Amino acid sequence: MSRTVAPPRVVNIADLRRLAQRRLPRLAFDYIDGGADDEITLRENSLAFSRLTFRPRSAVATSDANLRTTVLGTPLDLPFLLAPVGSSRLFYPRGEVAAAKAAGAAGTAYILSTLSGCRLEDVRAATRGPAWYQVYLVGGRDIATAGIARAQAAGFSALVLTIDTAVAGQRERDVRNGVKELVSGTLWEKLPFVPQVLARPRWLAGFLADGGLMNFPNVVLPEGPMGYADVGAALAQSVVTWTDLRWIRDLWKGPIVIKGVHTGEDARQAIAAGAQALVVSNHGGRQLDGVPATLRALPEVLEAVNGQVEVLVDGGIRRGGDVAKALCLGARAVLVGRAYAYGLAAAGEAGVARAIEILRTELVRTLKLLGCESTAALDRSYINVPIDWGMGPDARVGPRQTDGSAPTSTEHIGEHPALRS
């Protein structure tokens, strides 16, 4: 008599990560999980959240926890958006479509990477929520112009321009896993790396049924869609400069978001170039290793922006409490990438939905334990900031307004003496 084995209980994002590792071949899992060089920044992105501690208000009854916010004028049910993750079809069949559908069902936004394995029109049609298009200038200005026009026509509501990819970062796990050889090597070059793919027959069957090795249908070169093997070279040939914002701004009839801001200097440049929002991002630790965690860079960018544009942040978010800490520091909202990518790799759309629900549930619990009625009311009075973060007095923030606009008052700021009134 056969026994039915119950699926493992998925309690947190780490559980989804383990399921993703179990289902994917090593090369695909490490593409999600890995970072550049020694992966210092990759680790620091998550560790930074542990260095902020909460200051709860006890003996406070909160009947509800309101998570709603507004980003670029669009109401969202959650203060976190799904970040662009390229090549999501590598993790699960029709991966970008599945993730976008789950985001829309949860009442939040999905951001589609240029380097998607699904047509942008299909992804936009899959979600009932807002969708943004993240653009790389791969293929040159004419190719990018055509892609931007398609995104506008399809109904994407914001354009995200990533500025931290002058070249692709050195992701050493990909080198060791033979990604280049498996994609474009000779038969003899491929052979040492084939066993890791054959060891995941369920993944391989789905991958082949979905068309096998993908191309990038949103980057249409004269000879057809760009092939998967061309990514590294294409990024090196498509460096974004501030002057590119001029012609992109003329093309795009909507808000432009600059992603990849690390410093106050770049924040001011982005505002001068016409950005309506910034994302403090180090590409999840996948580009320049050794830059600070995004949470630590966030206060400098907020101070430089001084309320002129909206500021979002990504990197290292694995808990609802992490979302709360970023909002306490002053971010309008956050982007989550690996957290939902693990879910996608584990179980497709259902896995993404579970990742979103985990973060939502943890965030509600955090608010109630803080004695705070809404994410809009979070401010720095709810956290202790490490003294060595070097935040000046101009970086103080008080409670968020109910519409998500810049705060107007200041309160006690934990343990940082420069931030005390």
Task: Kindly tell me the burial class for residue 356, based on how many C-beta atoms sit within 10 Å of its own C-beta (0-12, 13-18, 19 or more).
Answer: buried
Catalytic residue among 262, 283, 412, 416: 283
Type and span of the H or E element at 303: helix 294-305
Do 269 and 242 touch, CB atoms closer than 8 A?
yes
The dihedral through the CA atoms of 43, 47, 49, 52 has a sign that is negative
Measured CA to CA, the distance from residue 252 to residue 155 in angstroms comes to 12
Instruction: Tell which residue, 233, 241, 103, has the closest CA to residue 162.
Output: 241
What is the secondary structure of 85-96 as a DSSP string? -TTGGGTSTTHH
283 catalytic? Reply is yes
Do 110 and 104 touch, CB atoms closer than 8 A?
yes
Task: Kindly tell me the burial class for residue 302, based on how many C-beta atoms sit within 10 Å of its own C-beta (0-12, 13-18, 19 or more).
Answer: buried
Alpha helices in 128-229 (DSSP H): 141-154, 172-176, 179-184, 187-190, 194-198, 201-209
Measured CA to CA, the distance from residue 384 to residue 391 in angstroms comes to 12
Catalytic positions? 283
